[in-house]
Structure 1
Amino acid sequence: MTEILRVENLRVEIKEETILEGLNFSLEEGVHVLLGPNGTGKSTLLGAIMGLHKYKLSGKIYFYGEDITDLTPDQRFKKGIFLAYQLPPSVRGVRLRDILKKILNIDPKKELPVEIYNYLKSLDLDESFLEREINYGFSGGERKKSEILQLLLAKPKLALLDEPDSGVDIDSLKLIGEALRKIAKESNLLIVTHNLKILDYVAPDSVIVLLDGKFVYKDGLEIIHQIEERGYNYVRRLVYAQNLS
């Protein structure tokens, strides 16, 4: 199976505070779930892979074998990486319609393609949603749906999803889950989640557990049940035994 992402000895700092240190792991094609205790650095890891400017990095990040460590977020987006934020930022003065045209790389004066209106319908969004300023005054569910809409159009090689199921009601979760199922047919996914209900819609090929910003444990779906029964200290013991060997 093709390797899509490799992280080697990754260290990430924010304002001189070390959040991640010495991380090493790789991902193959497919759907992957990233778990870990609160505050362990999961969102930071996604942001580092995307190359967000607030992070100071050392180590290496490879995407389909290419070193992207020094590329800007825009350059990484053009390579096929898309980040859906846990708390998508608001942007005053920029309509959702404008962002979608930029993603599709079409003339701002031209009309949006028909597929966008089909996606709006599938997410239970009115066409007037396109005229609203990016995430300004959006509910939690609307913010998530806006990001999923952009993701559907971007069709990236790798989608980084930071808790796509947080702050949404049951009906919205169902719509988002069904959209992710569709996206997973065309894109590789790395999903951070605490609500494992999202796994009813997308079955992961592997589960990655991030511990204390330093250790990564990778396994199959069965590790989720072990975590639910025994907690993350169980995984810490596995990592300790793995390091000893």
Structure 2
Amino acid sequence: TPIFLLVYDTFGGPDQLAAGVTPTAPRDIVIDRSLAEKYALVRGDPLMISGFEFTVSGIAQGAAAFFTPFAFTRYDDLIDFYFESDVAADISTFPLLSFLLIELGPGADRHAVAQAIERDVPQGDVFLPEDLAAHDENLGRVLFGPILRLMIGVGYVIGVLVTGIILFAAINARRGEFGVLKALGFDYRYLSTLVLLEALVLALIAIPLGTALAAAIGHLIEGALPLYRILATEPVPVLRTAVACLAFATVGALIPVRLIRHLDPALVFRS
């Protein structure tokens, strides 16, 4: 299982612990809950990484990306890991330092501090937390954006077609009712509005049911495969999906409209 190993000295360890403590003794390591569940690891168990044995000192909560769990250890243990593990024959190919975290004093302006560091240390780069978050988000968009957009687009097309098929079947089964309404003088616009309202009602019923089903399936997947995080109830994606559902319900309602347009009221009385 790939692990993203985060190494720190005085600041930057796990944010939230579900069990155990942060690394204090040599070779201590904190792992994410998903990794602990997959391999049935608890505090005090050994964890072998590239031939180097760590000891699990704690279990972190929410310390994972979508496909990769995080692990936390101290800087001194990283040096031992480089020298004693099978990760590389040449230690010079590995960086011994990635970031220095700056802890600000009370009332300090982080933007002013960042500018001062860039002025005094021109060969270094200074990143604020929101900068790092933006870079990570952009990396995710580059790596997963194209395939996710394709899958979402296909899902929307399927949603439009399913909505259209359901409404077409429903209206075709009630052709007599629509024929009577048309014979009574209700125009095409009124009947089309009825179809649109029916589509929107179906969408409003389907959205909470679909969200609940997605959350249940996500819970089952996380239980069977702890490394995978399923965020089925995030507010912004749920709202975006709800708006999209209403949109393709509206588009899907256009599919059976042609049937109403060409419906002859005389057929009702002949039958």
Judge same fold: TM > 0.5, yes or no: no
TM-score, length-scaled by structure 1: 0.23
TM-score, length-scaled by structure 2: 0.21
The structure with the greater share of residues assigned to helix is 2
Q: Compare relative contact order (CA 8 Å, sep 6+) and give the higher one, 1 or 2.
A: 1
